[in-house]
Structure 1
Amino acid sequence: MKNKFLKTILAVSAICIAFYSCKDDDTLPVDFDDLINTGVPFAAEITTNGSTNVNKLDPSSSSFSKEYQIISPAGGTDVTKVEVFVSLAGQNLTTDEALLVTAESSSFTNTDGGYPEVAISFDGASIISALGVDPAALEGGDRFNYRLALTNPQGTFSDVSANFDNQSADHTFASTVVCDSPTLPAGDWVIDMQDSYGDGWQPTTSNGGGPGITVTLSNGTVFEIGLCTPYEAPGYACTSGNSAGTRTITIPDGVSGDWVFNGDFWGEMSFQITGPSGSTVATGTPGTAAGPIALNLCNE
């Protein structure tokens, strides 16, 4: 058994060191006030709603939105529009940028008297149409890359400040092409699990807190998956192995299912999910946030 107290002390120490380091302004790559003082407007992301993945099998079913705050020395009121450009970096083809969305200032909102905000919606069919590509030519893992550009009377700005690495300006992001099928491929699915600290999985509490992955099938079957923790009775059929372990589940024909990752309390858990054909359909790295696991079934 690992020393849980030592583990806690190390985690707290790391936080303290990070906090102390942040007190030295000379070491910061970004000074938010300085970025504003350059006079260049920029967009700061507030939230993302929905998965940014684009389903190759049904692009129109893939939709998400992002909300941004528009910031400038003039309080954001000088920004007349926000444009979003998209390009494709794929295994079989790449494209130049194309204009995807234009949000005029008339669509901005300001409910609390602060900086204006804008919500921008995206859908897979529009993304593919803007680039003029054939969905059949897409492959799982291809990436759509997006770039925001803000316009005010001074001009149009996207790379707002190379000196500050754009860390305060959320002007770029990406989405991944996946294949989401209405039913799951039948057969044996393999889940390989690792824990970098070597004391099993603790998804939701410092001592454990149940399975790290839950698979719920449409026929009512539920699989609870995770590495056994030495700190508490797991309460489910966990997999032995402090540092690594493998679980195989069999999914019957004609069922759908939800795969959910339940969290990573210490930031130590990783996993790889292999479908029946032998292709890797999902991965998780240490610190992955709790939520649905998007399966890439393009090669299944």
Structure 2
Amino acid sequence: MKKAINKFLTASLVLALLGCSSDDKVIDIVEAELQTGAFLRITNTTGGAINKNDTSSSASVTFEFDGQDPSELASVDVFLTYTDNDDTDGADESVGPLQLGPTLTPDDFEVSDFGLPITTVEYTLGDALTLFGLNASQITGGDRFTLEWTVTLTDGRTFGPGDANGNVSAVGGFYSSPYNYVSLVVCPPQPGVWTIDMEDTYGDGWQTSSGGGGSGITFELNDGTVFEVSLCSDYGPRPGCVEDPNDVAGSVPSQGTATITVPEGTSSMVATFPGDFYGEIAFTITSPTGNVLANYSPGSSAGPIDLDYCNDTF
């Protein structure tokens, strides 16, 4: 195998010197130098991010057996590892690698466009939790699942993550074979209607960043969409603000409710509070699950609003 890897590295250096850029040239050079061996070439992946709040969230890898002879393929074993990157609880709950599903045989492969054996391996968050004996409360954003596989040939040789050494994927996009695929655990905001209940204790609406009004709370989604909500101020216009029909400055609190709708597929939402100029502003933010994720009292400082999406479950 070491000789085969050296051959790949040599091919990589040749490419650098000649300035070859197309996959066709990469294939020609690599195949000319490749000694007898085999690897699983990744052709497609999905699920680089696993939704912590959705046990049906999944990841998959499609790989093709590239060897001197397709009949050399004996079996493929697939493994999954969970890495706990949360240090707040003081416990490392990392597990694995554990075998994911039964050993694959040639019967589990189809024929690719190149006439080679090809198959897809997929798992869901629910599958992973069951495999590791974990529950959803034990994982959080930033943790990761690593899918790995080892191919065994009919002559008994095996090829896996320890054999690639980075050089197989270095020679070009066609020969992408790191023998592993990492998916990060993420906590996107719940899709649906979010409710913001607002109050001004003095009763003259919101004065946020200035005594004349200022901007409202903003919610920015990963696609660039920005929502802005606030109570209207008695001292300056603010587009899209909520009026309190009972607003009488200095007599009763100003109150109002605004909603925003977060679409399906949103991966991030950043909320920002512009400030409380007179120390009179209070508000809560309630997610579609009914959980109150923010509860601000008068006099709160400006800045990002900490919304814990990871623990926002129904």
TM range (shorter): 0.5 to 0.7
CA distance in 2, matches of 1:121, 1:35: 33
Q: Does 1:176 align with 2:184?
A: yes
2: CA distance, partners of 1:109 / 1:251: 54
- State the identity %: 19
Name the Cα RMSD after superposition.
3.9
Query: CA 1:44–1:162 in structure 2 vs 1: closer, same or farther (change >3 Å)?
Result: same
Question: Aligned partners of 2:40, 2:34: CA distance in 1, in Å?
Answer: 11
Post-superposition offset of 1:160: 3.0
Q: How does 1:73-222 map to 2 (within 5 A)?
A: 73-74=68-69, 76-90=70-84, 91=86, 92=91, 93-101=93-101, 102-110=103-111, 112=113, 114-153=115-154, 154-158=156-160, 159-162=162-165, 164=167, 166-167=169-170, 168-180=176-188, 181-183=190-192, 185-186=194-195, 188-191=217-220, 213=223, 215=225
Displaced runs of 4+ in structure 1, greater than 6 A?
none
Give the structure-2-normalised TM-score: 0.52
Deviation of the 1:175 alpha carbon: 0.8
Higher mean C-alpha deviation, range 180-189 or range 144-153? 180-189
User: How far apart in 2 are the matches of 1:41 and 1:165?
Assistant: 11
1:268-279 residue pairs with structure 2 within 5 A? 273-275=269-271, 278=304
Structure 1: tracts of 5 or more residues without a match: 1-19, 193-211, 216-221, 224-249, 262-271, 282-295
Please tell me the residue identity of whatever aligns with 1:47. N
Inter-partner Cα distance in structure 1 for 2:305 and 2:74: 47
The 3-state SS of whatever aligns with 1:33 is helix
Task: Specify whether residues 55 and 162 from structure 1 end up closer, same or farther in structure 2 by C-alpha distance, changes over 3 A only.
Answer: closer
Question: Between Structure 1 and Structure 2, how many residues are aligned?
Answer: 199
SS of the equivalent of 1:170 reads coil
Q: Distance in 2 between matches of 1:77 and 1:171?
A: 20
d(CA) in 2 for partners of 1:58, 1:163: 33
**TM-score, normalisation: structure 1:** 0.54
Structure 1 residue 34 displacement after superposition: 6.9
Among 23, 29, 32, the residue aligned to 2:30: 32
Deviations 1:173-221 (A, max 9, x none): 11111235343654545549xxxxxxxxxxxxxxxxxxx9355xxxxxx
Whichever of the two has the greater Rg, that structure is 2
CA distance, structure 2, for counterparts of residue 280 and residue 273 of structure 1: 11
The 2-side partners of 1:184 and 1:172 are apart by 38
